[in-house]
Structure 1
Amino acid sequence: MGNPLFLFQFIKTLEDERLLVFNFGLLKWKWDESIIESETASTDNVVYLLQRKMKKCSQESQMFLQCAACLGASFTLETINMIWQHQQREINADSLSTRHSTEELIMEMVEENYLEVEAHKDDKCRWVHDSVQEVAMSLIKEEDHDSFRRSIGEIWYQELGEENLEPSLFEVTNLLNAIRTGVTNIDFARLNLKAAEKARDVAAFDRSIHYASSGISMLPSNKWDSCPELTVKLYSLAAEAESFLGHHAKMESYCREVLSQESISILEKKDVYLTKLNSLTYAEMRFEDAIGLFLTILADL
């Protein structure tokens, strides 16, 4: 967790709880070690300190921290303002004693040493430590965790529109994927395809598989009839990424699904065929099988 962060938070906690006070008459700090020891006996890690401190914040500040925690390690002021304004409209006015602007809440979080404004980037904030973000995320009730993250992703997606999501593609897609079971959404499946392609292009094949499989899970049951182009792209990309990771059985499973579809042409299956040929040739060294597959493809053209 980092000793400097723990030390800072520990001293700040002592000061906030008046276990450490500055005597202006004597011009020195005063404390009682026995009282500090009894009051902080279980405070042996920075996570506990941060949880204890954050839970003493106002309800509004806690809700703001929860929203910010969903946006990643860093985020723009424009993004958090967009999300927070939307959340404020959803919050019952009677549930908050006061309402503060996004700028005021950001300043509060900076003063509490939760966030910092990035140097030379006045429009961007970041968490001072990843453990601070984790603790802020833990403020969300466990039973609401996935649905809350999904709701933040939906706000982000709706406010920006798919064409403007490129800089935050992974973050938004991760939030939308918080709930996948029983979800059918072609738009979100298409977003997962974009994320999978972007991950593949930077050789993050494990993430590419995650996004491709998430996209597949969001397709309707009649996917090969209703959205064949999107479906074949997701399956082909999943097969390609599995092949790069050496997961040949999983690659074959995705390939079989595509190749068994009589409703799509052999040209639409080309990416799957290329993946199989590359696997047979370069990974498995089964040259005769690769030649046999190649001749089969030529015969079907």
Structure 2
Amino acid sequence: MIKKIDHANVIHYGADSLIIKTSGTGLSKPFCQKILSEEFPSPETLARLDNEFDICSKTNCSSIRKALKKEKQDDHASILLEYIEGKDLNKYFITEKPDFLQQLHLAADLASALTDLQKENIFHRQVHPSNILIEQATGKIFFIDFGLATIGNVFESGVSHVQDKQVEVLKYIAPEQTGRINRAIDNRADLYALGVILYRLFTGVLPFESKEGLELIYAHVAKTPEEPVQLNSDLPKVVSDIIMKLLSKNAEDRYQSAFGVKNDLEKCLHQLETSKKIEPFPIAESDFSGKLYIPSKLYGREKEIKYLHHLFDTSADGKKTTLFFSGYSGSGKSALIDTLQKPVSQKKGFFIKGKFDQISSDTPYSTFVQAFSELIQMIMTGDEAYQLRWKKRIMDSMGNSVKILTEFIPGIEDLVGKLPDIPLLKGIEAQNRFNYEFVRFIKTITDKDHPLVIFVDDLQWADASSLNLFKVIAGNRDIEYVMLIGAYRKNEVDENHPLLKKMAELREESAFYEEMELKDLLYEDVHELVSGSLMTEQENISFLSDIIFSKTQGNAFYVWQFLKSIYDERLLWFDFDLQRWQWNAELIMQMNVSGNVVELMTAYVQRLPVETLDLLQTASSIGNRFDKRTLSVIRQVNEKKVENLMNISITEGLIIPFGAEYKFAHDRIQQAIYSLIPEKEKTALHLLNGKRLAAHYNQFEVQDKLFDLVNQWNLGVDGITDEKEKSYLANLNLMAG
């Protein structure tokens, strides 16, 4: 409890903080103090407060109130902020009844304030009315609450696990932020939120309204709101069009900058004030962001997408479909499969995925554990009644047998409760029992209202247990409403590979499956990709496309990374005076990358700060996925420093935050970073990882992290000379079976 607080001065009670108005000492005007409610807050809560201070203390943006200093209030962390006398936009909506001219002025002011943020390259990430202040004396707009904000874009998997208490936030969330579709997230998500706000401003209602968080997520992804002009017949059609463009599902179809929105709204204002009416005009003509955005569209993949969606429709109608999907690394296999997320969400099904890891390839069932842990998390984000329905369904079908799965998917017990122990089995008997119960679990959770897509990536690195489980699921004729997808690198799977043997066994058992191979992009596809990424139709862009195609030979990942590289190195830039993209063809042609994406990525990451690169090298030695705590233990630094160093990598698109974890944006990035570690140092690094983790874990954590731990020790085995350590490793391997 916070002492010495005059609650008469509290101007806001938040979920994890409160804000008080105070005059303080030594300051010439009032300020406000944001104080965390808990004396010992979670690291995430503390990190958000630190992030808000960092952004608000360093910015020159006039639409952000300045942060003045950090201090403690009765041992509670707090920050001092400028005090703005006024009301938030939510209260404005409730208490004010503006006329159309006032609404239009407010809309233009909101767009202008967001333009100020974008000029400073600030991505708010949680724009909604409670985070917008209107100054009483001047009407000036201020954005507040920058706990989740970033400088630059953030490439993440989305807010895939949102709790019920955040329903108000979900009313303003962009489709790509829901975690239900595979899209990079950038500051165009703020523009979508602005569209929701303007919709409410001019119609008096929200585009989507529900008390259920999952219903709101579904609506943002799958539903098209009614046009504002249909709800407010007095609203000029062009204003309605501006709002609907902001609410486009695909970020490429929205305005690309707040400046473009501001410009169009000011045109409307000028017409209204000079001629008392607003005539239609082409919108977004002055909408130039000058930025390179990751395109959400997959160019040259129309036939493959249609085929995939057909297979999903077949499974959603009650069948089980199995697809083996091959292609070279970087051809875009994962991105293509991720296009299923939207149709799955539209049918209120589950899309889950996991990825095998070359470094930790011996961990049994690791990818299935990732995928089904994600499924349990999705269920746990629902309200209590939703969770109880799933608990009853699982327990009625499986009873205490579900305990068998909890060894690998401990989150199940969070849903169904603590279960009694069951008799232990070993060897092939244990594996057969696990596979049997796993198939029962899949049958239990799927039906016509809940189709399931299971995507298992990088099967070329799968362990024997996982390959066998994949075959069991693929071969089971009783499973319904399931689409099972296994992707692999064709160039890394020869005729003697265990995967091809499993596929042959399925054929011998007359278990039907589909196969598809993904080829590299054609020149026409690369040209479309380049034009789409630059959001331009200028006639000479084909010259740039020629250069990029000759350098990359149409490998989709390589094309994007090459384009990003020349943009980052200022060999490609947007000329705002000419309103055209320009590039230095001679220097681009001189880039010596030898058609190798790993070589390009290696050169790119070597420009990172030394501390960041060192941390990424340690992360690459752990695997494709890792968490702050593990890096903190190995590097022996606090988690806040790990987070700060990781933020650079997130902004650069190298790392993606994923719940409480991080993952490399592509395994080629992990490979490039891992390749920078000298071969003679890799053994010592893995052994050090293993030793520090073993010293830090208690006996329960050792059980929980056993396979990760034993993997690091095994990779460092050549560096072990101490007999006690050899004995310890032998015991770890025995425990791991």
Q: In the alignment, what sits opposite 1:160?
A: 697
Query: Do the aligned partners of residues 49 and 42 (structure 1) sit closer, same or farther apart at CA in structure 2, a change above 3 Å counting?
Result: closer
SS in 2 for 1:177: helix
Alignment match, 1:141: 678
Q: Give the distance between the partners of 1:25 and 1:82, measured in 2 at CA.
A: 51
The answer to which of 101-110 and 165-174 deviates more is 165-174
* Pairing 1:204-215 to 2, within 5 Å after superposition: none
Q: Which residue pairs with 1:235 in the alignment? A: none
Q: Distance in 2 between matches of 1:151 and 1:54?
A: 24
Match of 1:178 in 2: 715
In 1, Cα distance between the equivalents of 2:705 and 2:673?
20
Letter of the 2:589 partner, please give it.
E
Residue 607 of structure 2 is aligned to residue 56 of structure 1? yes
Residue 5 of structure 1, CA deviation: 2.2
Instruction: Name the residue aligned to 2:634.
Output: 83
Partner of 2:581: helix, strand, or coil? strand
1:126 aligns with 2:663: yes
Letter in 2 for 1:112: E
Residue number among 645, 648, 654 corresponding to 1:105 in the alignment: 645
Distance in 2 (CA, whole Å) between partners of 1:55 and 1:43 is: 17
Deviation at 1:66, TM superposition (A): 0.9
5+ long unaligned stretches in structure 1? 90-99, 198-301
User: What does 1:214-253 correspond to in 2, within 5 Å?
Assistant: none
**Following TM superposition, by how much is the alpha carbon of 1:42 offset from its aligned partner in structure 2, in angstroms?**
2.9
The structure with the greater share of residues assigned to helix is: 1
Of residues 572, 585, 590 in structure 2, which corresponds to 1:33? 585
Matched residues in 1 for 2:704 and 2:653: separation? 27
Q: Deviations over 1:235-260 (max 9, x none)?
A: xxxxxxxxxxxxxxxxxxxxxxxxxx
Structure 2, unmatched stretches of 5+, are 1-328, 331-554
- Report the secondary structure of 1:117's partner residue: strand
8 Å contact from structure 1 (residues 69, 137) kept in 2 = yes
Alignment root-mean-square deviation, CA? 2.0
- The structure that has the greater radius of gyration is 2
Letter of the aligned partner of 1:116 in structure 2? I
Contact (CA 8 Å) 1:20, 1:30: kept in 2 or not? Answer: yes
- Between the aligned partners of 2:702 and 2:686, the Cα distance in structure 1 is 17
* Aligned CA distance change for structure 1 residues 194 and 105 (closer, same or farther; 3 Å): same
Judging changes above 3 Å, is the alpha-carbon distance between structure 1 residues 33 and 155 closer, same or farther for their aligned structure 2 residues?
A: same
Asked if the contact 2:627–2:661 (Cα under 8 Å) also holds between the matched residues in 1, the reply is yes
Inter-partner Cα distance in structure 2 for 1:191 and 1:161? 14
1:68-122: CA deviation from partner (whole Å, max 9, x where unpaired): 11221212222223323x1x59xxxxxxxxxx8111112111111111012xx2x
Over 3 Å counting, the alpha-carbon distance change for 1:112 and 1:136 in structure 2 is: same
Q: Distance in 1 between matches of 2:673 and 2:699?
A: 28
Shift of 1:43: 4.3
8 Å Cα contact 1:62-1:139 kept in structure 2: no
Structure 2: how far apart are the matches of 1:170 and 1:28? Answer: 53
TM-score for the superposition, normalised by structure 2: 0.23
CA apart distance, 1:161? 3.3
Residue 299 of structure 1 corresponds to which residue in structure 2? Answer: none
User: Are 2:654 and 1:114 aligned?
Assistant: yes
Percent of aligned pairs sharing the same letter? 27
Partners of 1:154 and 1:109 lie apart in 2 by: 27
What's the offset of the Cα at 1:162?
A: 4.2
Asked if 1 retains the 8 angstrom alpha-carbon contact of 2:625 and 2:663, the reply is yes
Alignment of 1:70 with 2:611, yes or no, is no
1:44 corresponds to which of 571, 595, 607: 595
- Measured in 2, the distance between the counterparts of 1:175 and 1:68 equals 12
Q: Does the 8 Å contact 1:72/1:171 carry over to 2? A: no
1:75 partner letter = F
Cα distance in 2 for partners of 1:168, 1:75 equals 12
8 A Cα contact 2:687 2:717, kept in partner: no
Which residues in structure 2 correspond to 1:276-287 (within 5 Å)? none
CA 101–180 in structure 1, closer or farther in 2 if over 3 Å, else same: closer
Q: Is the 8 A contact 1:150 1:178 kept in 2?
A: yes
Pick the aligned partner of 1:20 from 566, 569, 572: 572
Aligned letter for 1:115? I
* CA displacement, residues 10-53 of structure 1 (integer Å, 9 cap, x when unaligned): 11210222111121212222112222111x24341210111001
Match of 2:279 in 1: none
Aligned partner letter, 1:55: Q
Matching residue of 1:194: 735
> For the structure 1 residues 176 and 128, does the alpha-carbon distance in structure 2 shift closer, same or farther, using more than 3 Å as the test?
same
Structure with the bigger percentage of strand? 2
Matched letter for residue 62 of structure 1: L
Opposite residue 107 of structure 1, the aligned amino acid is N
TM-score where L is the length of structure 1: 0.55
The structural deviation recorded for 1:160 is 1.2
Aligned length: 180
Map of 1:5 onto structure 2: 557
Whole-angstrom distance in 1 between the partners of 2:704 and 2:672: 25
Alignment partners' CA distance in 1, 2:594 and 2:575: 25
